[in-house]
Structures are given as structure tokens and as C-alpha cells.
Structure 1
């Protein structure tokens, strides 16, 4: 996975005593809700899997509850614009950081597509596997097997979600979309049935904070960034904008589809937040 690495990162802001109180309280509550519900999800999945196989009629509700509750615990205002796609297919979005997982799961039943290394990350890897994340390895020799996994999941009704930028940013720009993963939707079994819904994520920083506050990119460490977010007394907001779905059959190839999805995502990005 390519890392987006600008020259200057946000300045480190020391956490004050009140901030550490918020870190403790929010961290305890968020951890309890997240891992408590993970345990519940695994128990429910013991029944759900033999009855429904790839279909998951129950456990996604647990994931949505956790993700929606996370914003309440953190104090981050959460807004939604547009209509969620009902047609079969996938969702694509700009990528700002780890909060995207909560933002995109809170209102829509999706299954993330992630690089294979994430499966081995402590904590995050367990959550990703339990919630049905599709892990991909960029080894060309495995391309056919991975294509079959995509088809099986899509034909089972899963809405896969991936970030075509290929990396996260500071939340003040949309990078060019890479067309590679769009190719999966042009197979004969899928091309006439699938839709792609572009989604724009717009983060606004807390008052007086660096406008890139919620961005997590490049070589930034997860722990310090998480602490900064937990410690913020007055939080900012995130807006999830759902754009009209794009019918795969209306495009000649993956590049045309990727460009159209990118244009839709850019159209929802406020001019006052752009650094481009």
C-alpha cells in the first residue's frame, strides 16, 4: 500500500490534565462497548454462520450499533446527506484515517476491502476478521483466487467498500482514484448487475485545532493519534455524503468508472477545506 506523505504533519499538542481524564473515560467506555459487542458478535456468528453461510442477517446490526455509538462516546457530531444505495454492488470513498471505519459503518451495512497485513494487526485485525473484512494480497499469482472471493461476496449480497486512493490523507484533498479494484466488477457474472456508490467523507476539526486534526496518514502512529482524539474537549464533526449510484454497465472499462466515481466524491468536498 502506497503511503501519502506530505512534508509537514500537524504539530503535536501536549495533553492537559483534563484531557487525560477524557482519555481515560472515553477510552474505557469505547473499549468496553467495542470489545464487549465483539464478544456478542462472535457468539451470534456461531449460530448465524451454519444457518446462513456468507449471508449475515444479524451481526451487521451489532457493528452498526458500535460505530454509531462511538461518535456519541467521542462527542464527534455525525451527519448524513443523500440516500444509501439499495442496489447490489460496492461503495467507494475518500480515505482520511481510522475514523472512516466508524463513519462508513454507522449508517450502512458494508464490508471493507483491506490489505492482507491488517489481518495480523493486534486488536484491529481481530475486529476486521470478525466483521467480515475482505483481505487482499497484491500478489499477481493470487489475482484469480481473489477475483473469485470478490464475486462470491458480491453475489451473496455484500456491499464491499474500498478506498480507491490507495492511501489515507489529511482530509483536505481527494487523491486520484486507482482503477485496479474496479476491474472486479467487469466480469460477465457481475457487470450487468452491479452498481458503485461514491461517498464523500468531510471532517471538520475542533475549534482552534489544526484543520487536519482527524487525518491519519503516512507514518503517523495510531496510538498518539487516538489519544489526541480521545482528549479533545470540544470535538469537530464528520459528514457522510452518499452520491447517486453508478451502474457499472454504463461504463466502457474500469478507468472510466474510476474517473466517474472520483468526480462524484470530489463534488461533495467543500472548497473551503481544500488544500489542493
Structure 2
């Protein structure tokens, strides 16, 4: 059993795809590839103009990223809704992490830039997309702490809202595992703590009718390819809810642990309140 499986029940297993499943894979997969990589080409062309004029600021391309994610969700058939308002001021967002669908769902709901572990930059296709859309890659080495602090500060001062997954891993989508407070330390550096706000966000998935409740989870040793095929082949999809909690000021908390604990509690509260009985 996977160390990231949090149930006494056996882990659900994927079933072999039927001819009808493969047809759905093609009918969904082809337009999704065209939308994503067509959007990527257009984004790169726009960045040629945007970068020299605005530097770190990106006044145009985030709108394209958001449109591509919305269209992709529509092709998959995953409906999403939002509750509350995305923060308007300078700051960062922290959310629970169910699986790779989070990238599309959260991007569709607001303009954000993800913070991801450094190895993702080298992944085929996903790494290219992440770099092009402005993802911030971090290394988990103490020697890189100052460089990362400077990078976070530059991006935040440019008006970028960075999104962190403090759990440090994806899950079965039904629960929140303890937040790691390490990344919250960046918010308490001089020059940032007095001007930043943090917005907790709860991401809630509802499985398609008749499917396992953990349908949108991604845990343990799951691989991207089989997971993608499962979602492309699904006869129907469920829905997702993005719940924006009220932002809080970093300066109102004693330290990173207190801020991490508060955000974790709000995210848990939002998930529990919206989950289907």
C-alpha cells in the first residue's frame, strides 16, 4: 500500500480501456493538445514583445494562460465554480494539492504563478509549459535560501501572486495533510512581511456519479500517463470548487509556523464544508 494512501480500504485500480474509452481519448486528447500547444506557441510569441517592454511584469500572457486552462477544462468536461474572491493586493496563495488537475482548475479561477520543486523543470512537456507560464522553481538546499528569497521578493514586487502547495505532495483529494511551514519563512523576510498578504484556498473535487470519491486524487507512485488516459477516457466528469478564504496579513502572525497552522486550518475547514456527504 502506498504511504500516501489514507484509508483502510484497498487502493482503487484502473481498468483496461475499451474501444469506446479509446475513442473518447482521441476525441478529447487531440483538441486538448491543439489548445495547449497552440496556446504555448502564441504565449512565446507574445513574450518576445512583453519581456523587453515590461520585464518581470506580464500584463498580457497570464490572460492567455487562463483562457487555455478554461478551454481545457471544458473539453475534459470538468465543471468548476468559485466561492469568495481572489485577493487583489500584493501577496501569495496557499492551497491543498489533490493532483495535476489542480494546475488547470486554479489557473482557470485566477491569475497566478505556481511555485514548484526544481525537478519539474526537466519533465518533458510539463516542464516546458511550466517555464513558459512563469512557474517559480525552488531547490531544497539551504545554500539556495538567499537566492530563492531574492527571487520571491522580485516576483512579488512585480505584482505576481505566487501559489504554494504547503503539503509538499499531492493527495487522495479527500483530506488535507499537515502543511510544511518551511516555505512560509520566505514571507517573513525584511521587505516582504510588512507588505504581503496570504490567501488560503480550498480546492474541492466531486467525483463523477458512480466513480470512486478519490477519482481526482494523485498519490504515491501514480504515473502521469495512466492518470491522463483515465481522465481522457472517462464517460463523464464531475466538478471542482475553488474556495477563496479571506486574505490575512503576514505581519499579524508571530512566525511562519503560526501562519502555516492558520492557513492549514482554513483550508481544512473549506474542504470539509463543501465535500459531498
Confirm whether residue 227 of structure 1 aligns to residue 237 of structure 2. Answer: no
Shift of 1:194: 0.3
Q: Secondary structure at the match of 2:109?
A: coil
Per the alignment, residue 92 of structure 2 pairs with 90
Which structure 2 residues correspond to residues 88-167 of structure 1 after superposition, within 5 A?
A: 88-167=90-169
Shift of 1:273: 4.5
Per the alignment, residue 241 of structure 1 pairs with 243
2-structure distance, mates of 1:166, 1:135: 13
On the 8 A contact 1:95/1:163 being kept in 2, the answer is yes
2-structure distance, mates of 1:271, 1:43: 43
2-structure distance, mates of 1:240, 1:16: 33
2-structure distance, mates of 1:254, 1:40: 39
TM-score, length basis structure 1: 0.96
Per the alignment, residue 261 of structure 1 pairs with 263
Per the alignment, residue 30 of structure 1 pairs with 32
TM-score, length basis structure 2: 0.95
Q: Secondary structure at the match of 2:99?
A: coil
Shift of 1:18: 1.4
RMSD, aligned α-carbons: 1.5
1-structure distance, mates of 2:232, 2:133: 24
In the alignment, structure 1 segments of 5+ residues that lack a partner are none
Per the alignment, residue 44 of structure 1 pairs with 46
Shift of 1:270: 2.9
Confirm whether residue 173 of structure 1 aligns to residue 175 of structure 2. Answer: yes
Distance 1:264 1:272, change over 3 A: closer
Q: Secondary structure at the match of 1:213?
A: coil
On the 8 A contact 1:103/1:238 being kept in 2, the answer is yes
On the 8 A contact 1:164/1:178 being kept in 2, the answer is yes
On the 8 A contact 2:115/2:164 being kept in 1, the answer is yes
Shift of 1:12: 1.3
In the alignment, structure 2 segments of 5+ residues that lack a partner are none
Confirm whether residue 75 of structure 1 aligns to residue 77 of structure 2. Answer: yes
2-structure distance, mates of 1:175, 1:94: 8
On the 8 A contact 1:198/1:261 being kept in 2, the answer is yes
Q: How many residues align?
A: 273
Kindly provide the CA deviation profile for residues 26-75 of structure 1, in whole angstroms up to 9, marking residues without a partner as x. 00000100000000000000000000000000000110001111111001
2-structure distance, mates of 1:75, 1:64: 17
